[in-house]
Amino acid sequence: MTSNPPNNVSAEDLSRLYRGLRLIRRVEERIADIYRTDVIKSPVHLSIGQEAIPVGVCDILRADDYVAGTYRGHALYLANGGNLNAFMAELYGKIDGCAAGKGGSMHLVDSEHYMIGSSGVVATNIPIALGHALKLKREGKGRIVVCFFGDGATEEGVFYESLNFASLQKLPVLFICENNALAVHTPIERRWAHMDICHRVAGFGIPTHRLDDQNIFNIRSIAEGSAMSIRAGQGPAFMECPTYRWRSHVGPEEDFDANYRPREASIPWIENDQMSVLADLLPGDVVAGHDTDVEADIDAAMSFAANSPFPTMEELHRHVYAE
């Protein structure tokens, strides 16, 4: 399913967006391939199929904006410019990882690119993002925080407390709900009597936007407009981005034999895969060049991770107290 890009999306934009999607997709496919070897020392929650949301949103951010993510955070880390070598070393549990090998896949952090450490506990990143947003409001330099979470996080009380506080204080935060309609294995229609998340959020006086699909140009455009409003002091905004994860809730396998979702439901999402859509809009040599470069970068990162040493015992005592 191919559509022409909007007029304000240049060939350079297309190329950059495609490379971002391709990098995340291939990194996670390679992770899935090697996961069975036990070189990766933590559980992995893959974003295969969901890449367009962080790539589209992060593309319009300032270099000094904050992002906050969840345990399904590989895509956000990479879309926001995180170091691939440090990322892979972290998954391997090595000292050169972004959290010195102590956090693993679910606890990625990148202070250089203002990525707040992701969390393995559902919805805990939301109030932490608000704390950063309060700081940025007082700073007064037009910076914002973008907070990513799944639809399951909207069932936690802290989500509603955070919406109320952000709206009350007009905090510079953009909430991004990556709605794959599943909380682990439970579909949203079995969890909610009224499934309109935007309706609930709007009750706090927050502007909401629900996308119809995973069109990366629409995601990028709405995020850009929302960010402009937030920077102008209008307070928070909320985006609900429907999506579909192609793999299990956790781990590298498919899970259609678990009988909680039919394989047929994946077909429209796969046919509208944004990586393929963008590939069709770019010259073949540009696509081939990105594909080759991405594979080389991943090979180098895996070699870096394999050769990085494990943390020493002394590392256990670092970052426990303020230094």
Give the confidence band of 195 by pLDDT, cuts at 50, 70, 90.
Answer: confident
Beta strand pairing call for 186-187 and 182-183: antiparallel
Q: For 14-18, 171-175, 188-192, which range has the lowest pLDDT when averaged over its residues?
A: 188-192
pLDDT at 5: 83
Is the pLDDT reported for residue 200 higher than 70?
yes
Q: Given this model, what pLDDT does residue 3 score?
A: 59
Alpha-carbon torsion angle 45, 222, 56, 9, nearest 10? 160
Q: What values do phi and psi take at 60, rounded to 5?
A: -105, 5
Question: In 3D, which of 320, 304, 322 has the Cα closest to residue 97?
Answer: 304
- The pLDDT assigned to 319 comes to 85
Give the whole-angstrom CA distance, residue 179 versus residue 242: 5
Residue 322 domain flag? no
Residue 320 lies in a domain: no
Q: With 80 as the cut, is the pLDDT of residue 4 above it?
A: no
Whether the Cβ atoms of residue 208 and residue 200 lie closer than 8 Å to each other: no
- How many domains are contained in the chain? 1
CATH number at residue 110: 3.40.50.970
Mean pLDDT, rounded, for 96-104? 96
Closest CA to 173 of 261, 235, 113: 235
Query: In the chain, pLDDT over 90 holds for what percent of residues?
Result: 92
Predicted pLDDT of residue 322:
84
Average pLDDT of the chain is: 96
Mean pLDDT of 160-187: 97
Q: Is residue 286 part of a domain?
A: yes
For residue 65, pLDDT beyond 80: yes
pTM of the model: 0.96
Q: Is the pLDDT of residue 254 over 90?
A: yes
| Residue 313 located in a structural domain | no
Flag whether 127 is in a domain.
Answer: yes
Average pLDDT on 214-235 reads: 97
* Phi, psi of 139, deg, nearest 5: -70, -40
Q: Answer yes or no: is 106 within a domain.
A: yes
The 10s digit of each residue's pLDDT in 14-40 is: 999 999 999 999 999 999 999 999 999
pLDDT band at residue 264 under the 50/70/90 scheme: very high
Is 90 exceeded by the pLDDT of residue 155?
Answer: yes
Inter-residue contact 228 to 172 (CB < 8 Å): no
Q: Closest Cα partner for 71 from 100, 21, 106, 121? A: 106
pLDDT higher than threshold 70 for residue 1: no
Q: Which domain holds residue 183?
A: 11-305
Q: What is the mean pLDDT of residues 104-129?
A: 96
Predicted pLDDT of residue 6: 84
Q: Is 189 helix (H, G, I), strand (E, B) or coil?
A: helix
Each residue's pLDDT tens digit, 175-187: 999 999 999 999 9
Q: Specify if 228 maps to a domain.
A: yes
Cβ-contact 200, 192 below 8 angstroms? no
Per-residue pLDDT band for 320 (boundaries 50, 70, 90) equals confident
The whole-angstrom distance between residue 231's C-alpha and the CA centroid of its chain comes to 21
Going by pLDDT thresholds of 50, 70 and 90, the confidence category of residue 61 is very high
pLDDT tens for 274-312 read 999 999 999 999 999 999 999 999 999 999 999 999 999
**Quick check: is 316 in a domain?**
no
Say if CB 85 and CB 301 are below 8 A apart.
yes
